[in-house]
Amino acid sequence: MRRATLTALTAPLAIAALTACSTEEGAHDDKEFAVPAGVQKQYAVLAAELAEKGKTVESGEWTVNLITEAAEPWFEAHGAHGAQFRAPKAGETHHIEIIPTETSTGRIVPDVPITLEVVNAEAEVVQKLKLNFYYSTFYHYANNFTVPDAGTYTLRATLGVPAFNRHGEQSETPPLTEGTTVEFADVELTK
Mean pLDDT value across residues 118-140: 97
pLDDT at 20 over 80: no
pLDDT for res 55: 97
Neighbours of 32 (CB within 10 A): 8
> Of 179, 185, 153, 182, nearest to 58 (Cα)?
182
pLDDT for res 31: 58
Distance of CA 41 to the CA centre of its chain: 15
pLDDT at 108 over 80: yes
Q: Which of 23-27, 53-57, 116-120, 172-176 is predicted with the least confidence, judged by mean pLDDT?
A: 23-27
> Of 148, 139, 140, 143, nearest to 119 (Cα)?
148
pLDDT tens by residue, 63-100: 999 999 999 999 997 777 789 999 999 999 999 999 99
pLDDT for res 191: 78
Single-letter code of the amino acid located at 36? P
Q: Which of 21-35, 142-156, 175-189 is predicted with the least confidence, judged by mean pLDDT?
A: 21-35
- What is the signed CA dihedral for 15, 17, 18, 24, rounded to 10 degrees? 170
Enumerate domains of the chain plus CATH numbers.
2-21+32-189 (2.60.40.2480)
Mean pLDDT value across residues 140-150: 96
> Of 155, 145, 148, 151, nearest to 69 (Cα)?
145
First-residue to last-residue Cα distance in the chain: 29
Residue 40 φ then ψ, to 5°: -60, -45
